[in-house]
């Protein structure tokens, strides 16, 4: 599933090249998670001014309104001057004067939604509940620690929920907790301020390293120009059940939390 680094790597791979492009046509395939919210032909003539990211949403700013794009479980984008004929899993296409942007999404949990502005009801519904951006200056230790103190959920599940800090999905939550030496099952409320600070730094480091590696490719993720991620080769715990910890040699343990697999080192992450 694409997480923050994959979405950001995708953004970086086409944002500069599509900016300034005039939309020539837009077309839809099978229904995605939410309807587009506008007749696709009404997008023709609009200009793509730039591409931003909020959480795992890409925001394509148009000269009128914006498109919110989410990759869901299995989505990926392609951008090129010309693309081959659409396949059965291509469900959205934007032909612009700068090139064609296409969403491939076999499981169709992704979405493209047009909104008039970021304060439109649908935009507020999708973006309003998102937590702070972990790579921005808004990720403040006092606020982070206060939010943790108010919650009894296991720290890893709180990170995944995305309402305190956004975009730290399953892989990066496991990796950040390892780096901070925190047991994923620990109640968030029990984290001291120094440990919250360690976790904050670890989240930034893990996401920064993942972004530098172009994200993680477990199955079929690639950015909009077809480059795969390499962070999976750097993972300390994720996907390494039974293998020796890269720090202390203890076998990495895998447990289930919620519906998700969690990986940790029982020695490096005692509490």
* Positions marked active-site: 2-3, 56, 260
- Alpha helix locations (H) across the chain? 4-18, 121-127, 141-149, 155-161, 170-180, 193-212
Q: Is 187 in the site for Zn ion (CB under 5 A)?
A: no
Smallest separation (angstroms) from Zn ion to the CB of 180 = 13
Q: Least CB distance from residue 230 to Zn ion, whole Å?
A: 23
Check residue 19 for interaction with Zn ion (CB under 5 A): no
Q: Which of residues 223-262 bind Zn ion (CB under 5 A)?
A: 245, 247-248, 250
Per-residue burial over 202-221, b if 16 or more Cβ lie within 10 Å, else e, is bbeebbeebbebbbbbeeeb
What residues contact residue 190 under an 8 Å CB cut-off, 6+ apart?
none
Nearest residue to Zn ion, using CB? 245
Among 45, 141, 267, 270, binds Zn ion (CB under 5 A): 267
Contact call for residue 265 and Zn ion (CB under 5 A)? yes
CA distance 236 to 221: 20
The angle subtended at Cα 33 by Cα 29 and Cα 34, nearest 5°, is 90
- Closest to Zn ion by CB, 166 vs 245, is 245
User: Should residue 77 be labelled a site residue for Zn ion when binding is judged by CB under 5 A?
Assistant: no
Nearer to Zn ion, 26 or 265 (CB): 265
3-state class (DSSP) for residue 12: helix
Residue 189 interacting with Zn ion (CB under 5 A): no
Q: Which two tokens stand for residue 157?
A: 């599940």
- Residues lying near Zn ion in the complex (CB under 5 A) are found at 245, 247-248, 250, 265, 267-268
């Amino acid at each position: 599933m694409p997480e923050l680094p994959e979405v950001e790597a995708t953004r970086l791979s086409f944002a500069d090249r599509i900016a300034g492009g005039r939309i020539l046509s837009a077309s839809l395939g099978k229904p995605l998670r939410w309807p587009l919210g506008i007749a696709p032909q009404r997008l023709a003539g609009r200009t793509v001014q730039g591409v931003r990211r909020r959480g795992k949403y890409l925001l394509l700013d148009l000269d009128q309104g914006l498109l919110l794009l989410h990759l869901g479980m299995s989505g990926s984008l392609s951008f090129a001057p010309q693309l081959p004929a659409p396949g059965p899993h291509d469900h959205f296409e934007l032909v612009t004067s700068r090139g064609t942007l296409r969403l491939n999404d076999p499981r169709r949990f992704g979405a493209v939604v047009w909104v008039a502005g970021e304060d439109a009801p649908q935009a507020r519904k999708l973006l309003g509940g998102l937590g702070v951006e972990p790579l921005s200056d808004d990720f403040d230790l006092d606020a982070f620690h206060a939010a943790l103190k108010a919650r009894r959920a296991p720290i890893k599940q709180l990170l995944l929920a995305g309402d305190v800090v956004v975009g730290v999905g399953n892989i990066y939550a496991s990796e950040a907790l390892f780096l901070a030496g925190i047991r994923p099952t620990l109640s968030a409320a029990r984290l001291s301020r120094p440990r919250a600070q360690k976790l904050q730094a670890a989240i930034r480091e893990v996401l920064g390293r993942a972004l530098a590696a172009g994200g993680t490719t477990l199955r079929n993720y690639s950015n909009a120009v077809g480059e795969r991620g390499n962070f999976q080769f750097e993972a300390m715990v994720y996907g390494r059940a039974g293998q020796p910890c890269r720090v202390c040699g203890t076998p990495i343990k895998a447990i289930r939390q919620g519906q998700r697999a969690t990986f940790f080192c029982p020695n490096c992450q005692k509490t």
